[in-house]
Amino acid sequence: MKVLLISTYELGHQPFGLASPAAWLRAAGATVTCLDLSREPLREQPIREADLVCFYVPMHTATRLAVQLIEPVRRLNSRAHLCFYGLYAPVNESYLRGLGVSSVFGGEFEQSLADLLRRLSENGNGAGSPKDSGPVISLERLNFAVPDRSGLPPLDQYAHLLMPEGGFRVAGYTEASRGCKHLCRHCPIVPVYNGAFRIVQRDVVIEDIRRQVDLGAQHITFGDPDFFNGPAHALAIVGQLHGEFARLSYDVTIKIEHLLRHSEHLETLRDTGCLFVTSAVESVDDAVLARLDKGHTRADFLAVVARFRELGLVLHPTFVPFTPWTTLAGYRDLLAVIADQQFVENVAPIQLGIRLLIPAGSRLLELGEIRETVGPFDAAALIYPWRHADPRMDLLAGRVQGLAAEGDKLKRSRAETFARIWRAASELDDAEDAAALWQIPAFSSSGPIPPFTEPWYCCAEPTADQFVSIAGSFRPQAQTGAFF
């Protein structure tokens, strides 16, 4: 059988979610074509020839883009069996099936896709067959295959890491684990994994990295939701990695809660080439953190900042500053904390404009105050829309998003964009108060922090302009003509 795997967007990384199932499906005898539409056009021939077309949807934006392709793909090939897989597939199952998708898989999807291939091969099922009856979510403990990246665009076409001293590093991407032990209310992982955590075997991870190094990788991003869900597994990997490739750097994502609990391991990260740790701080307001069920407090965050400074490690905090509970004073307090902690260079300006995303299946809907705030589910946008009770906050969110985008376009420094955002937050009051608030505190930094050439988004509701910007490299045109 011929299988077409399609990725629309994955934060500028070469998609693990294509390379991993490609290895499984090729081992099962399928002829597999991979298309990453963030880097290449959607070609007609693989669509026309495919018996099975699978869309990888690990994120909200990726799902919105993939949904746009169902009709043109169906028009080119009405017999192909359509499948969506990844985090955002099962939570949107009803909507996707209503659009003609026959199979939907979440969780540990590699075996599910291989089983689907077998069923289709045995039964000759296609688009006209009944909906696939395989399990929608599988949390089976898999023995992974080494990802097969053949046929994907080369690594140097993906996001690079810009180095403070000049130049860049070609960045690879892998996953040492999936799922998460925690149940943060706003996290899209929770509705699928519900506290489960699964590892990718160490030898598979190391071999995947070896092959990416052979392809030119100088830096590796570990895409695990939390690298310290299994600290022994994670530390064994980076220890072996550093032993084989002493000059290879990497970055990881770890919860504030785990950075405190496992602080004795932070020196190991530093000494094995970790350039920075990303942590979803989300807020410095304890009341908001409690509603999000984040598992840490403002004091915990500040303790981690102090520990990182002591060790010489770089922390990249991410935030969801605009929630239904955020006040203007609370937003200004966030800016003050960032300035006071000398973290202006550590925070990408877009992180100061992110608005809370409430997708299907979100644990946020457990809160009565959220159910009373949101509007009916918007199937086209795949969200429950909401407006802030204080109109100034929605106005400010739009203004900050605009300033972040403008800063990127004009190549302003993070410090300059931060100052403009500070002023925007001050100008919402009357002139006298604004004049006092505009007195931005002096701040300094240890120097520029290495950023990626594409922005990082999570748990965020993109505006129409942001959606267009994020999807700017999305290439839906076929070689012989446009689909849209």
Furthest-apart CA pair in the chain: how many Å? 75
Question: For 2-128, CATH number?
Answer: 3.40.50.280
Give the mean pLDDT of the chain: 90
Burial (CB < 10 A; 0-12, 13-18, 19+), residue 371, is exposed
pLDDT (tens digit per residue) in 421-436: 999 999 887 555 555 5
Helix (H) or strand (E) holding 138: strand 137-138
Helix (H) or strand (E) holding 303: helix 298-311
Burial (CB < 10 A; 0-12, 13-18, 19+), residue 95, is middle
Backbone angles phi, psi at 249, to 5 degrees: -100, 170
At 450 the pLDDT is: 84
| Residue 453 and residue 163 in contact, taking contact as beta carbons nearer than 8 Å | no
| Residue 145 and residue 190 in contact, taking contact as beta carbons nearer than 8 Å | no
Give the whole-angstrom CA distance, residue 237 versus residue 219: 15
- Place 466 in a pLDDT band, splitting at 50, 70 and 90: very low
Name the token pair of 26. 């090729």
Q: What is the DSSP letter of 387?
A: -
Residue entry with tokens 């299907």: 360
Tell me how far CA of residue 146 lies from CA of 2, 22, 433, in angstroms: 21, 10, 59
At 480 the pLDDT is: 32
Helix (H, G, I), strand (E, B) or coil at 184: coil
Is residue 457 pLDDT above 80, yes or no? no
Give the whole-angstrom CA distance, residue 252 versus residue 239: 14
Helix (H, G, I), strand (E, B) or coil at 472: helix
At 427 the pLDDT is: 87
Backbone angles phi, psi at 90, to 5 degrees: -65, -35
At 467 the pLDDT is: 45
Distance separating the N- and C-terminal Cα atoms of the chain: 28
Give the whole-angstrom CA distance, residue 145 versus residue 217: 20
β pairing state of 177-179 and 197-199: antiparallel
At 445 the pLDDT is: 61
The angle subtended at Cα 452 by Cα 450 and Cα 410, nearest 5°, is 95
At 164 the pLDDT is: 83
Region 139-163 average pLDDT: 95
Is residue 463 pLDDT above 90, yes or no? no
At 443 the pLDDT is: 65
- Place 459 in a pLDDT band, splitting at 50, 70 and 90: very low
At 128 the pLDDT is: 45
**How large is the angle between the packed helices 202-214 and 231-244, nearest 10 degrees?**
30
Is residue 342 pLDDT above 50, yes or no? yes
Tell me how far CA of residue 211 lies from CA of 147, 174, 218, 252, in angstroms: 9, 11, 12, 19
Number of other residues whose CB lies within 10 A of the CB of residue 231: 17
Give the whole-angstrom CA distance, residue 33 versus residue 7: 11
Is residue 123 pLDDT above 60, yes or no? yes
Give the whole-angstrom CA distance, residue 373 versus residue 77: 42
β pairing state of 2-7 and 31-36: parallel
pLDDT (tens digit per residue) in 245-264: 999 999 999 999 999 999 99
Is residue 127 pLDDT above 50, yes or no? no
Long-range contacts of 412-419 (CB under 8 A, 24+ apart): 414/344, 414/345, 414/347, 414/348, 414/349, 415/344, 415/345, 415/443, 415/445, 417/349, 418/335, 418/338, 418/339, 418/344, 418/347, 418/349, 418/352
pLDDT higher at 355 or 452 = 355
- Please tell me the least confidently modeled range out of 111-125, 198-212, 332-346: 111-125
Domains 2-128 and 157-386+446-473 share a fold: no
**Which sign, positive or negative, has the C-alpha torsion 121, 123, 127, 130?**
negative
At 126 the pLDDT is: 52
Q: What is the DSSP letter of 407?
A: H
* Topology (CATH level 3) of domain 157-386+446-473: pyruvate-formate lyase- activating enzyme (3.80.30)
Give the whole-angstrom CA distance, residue 456 versus residue 280: 11
Give the whole-angstrom CA distance, residue 326 versus residue 194: 27
At 435 the pLDDT is: 56
Region 368-388 average pLDDT: 95
pLDDT higher at 283 or 453 = 283
Region 314-330 average pLDDT: 96
Give the whole-angstrom CA distance, residue 305 versus residue 257: 12
Where in the chain are the domains?
Answer: 2-128, 157-386+446-473
Give the whole-angstrom CA distance, residue 85 versus residue 106: 6
Name the token pair of 165. 């001293």
Could you list the beta-strand ranges (E) of 237-293.
249-253, 274-282
- Place 350 in a pLDDT band, splitting at 50, 70 and 90: very high
Region 91-107 average pLDDT: 95
Give the whole-angstrom CA distance, residue 347 versus residue 319: 9
Q: What is the DSSP letter of 429?
A: S
Q: What is the DSSP letter of 263?
A: G
- Place 13 in a pLDDT band, splitting at 50, 70 and 90: very high
Q: What percentage of the chain exceeds 90 in pLDDT? A: 82
Rg (CA), the chain: 22
- Place 469 in a pLDDT band, splitting at 50, 70 and 90: very low
- Place 106 in a pLDDT band, splitting at 50, 70 and 90: very high
Q: What percentage of the chain exceeds 70 in pLDDT? A: 88
